[in-house]
Amino acid sequence: MDIQIRHAHVDEAPLVAVLVSRLLAELGDEVETRALLETTRTLLAAGDVAALILLVDDRPAGVVTLNQCAAIYAGGRFGEICELYVGPDDRSAGLGRHLIEAAVDYARKAGWTRLEVGAPAQPRWQRTTDFYLANGFTLVGPRLRLPIGEEAG
């Protein structure tokens, strides 16, 4: 099995959007494909989000997206995993660990002090939390959100 992880370019926005849409569909979120593609293209082009694509034998098998945050508690700039997805047929092969390792490498090169991630709601997604714990993350509490603007609906 040949495993490669590479940084996605803006012209690969359709591939990144498809992989993220699969993640969102599994989480039960409604996905509007055109809007997701536009957002993906815009964020990649602006450099607001970095996407690392996982290839297995030259076949897209997963993606991790990262963005830069900053906080006093974190000692400055840090990274956040926005989305991490590995296709269901590839999950038992340890490929998610490769994406985490690539994200950590990216974070080091960016000079970030840490990586953070928000896991989906528990207990339904306990396996997701267990995955992150097995890959060196620690629990720091739940993440909450307050929609602003159009999302507030």
Q: What is the DSSP string of the chain?
A: --EEEEEPPGGGHHHHHHHHHHHHHHHT----HHHHHHHHHHHHHHTSSEEEEEEETTEEEEEEEEEEEEETTTTEEEEEEEEEEE-GGGGGGTHHHHHHHHHHHHHHHHT-S-EEEPPPSTTTTHHHHHHHHHTT------------GGGG-
pTM for this predicted structure: 0.91
CATH code for residues 3-136? 3.40.630.30
Task: Give the pLDDT score at 151.
Answer: 59
Q: Per-residue confidence at 63, pLDDT binned at 50, 70, 90?
A: very high
Structural domain boundaries in the chain: 3-136
pLDDT tens for each residue of 107-145 = 999 999 999 999 877 778 888 999 999 999 999 877 878
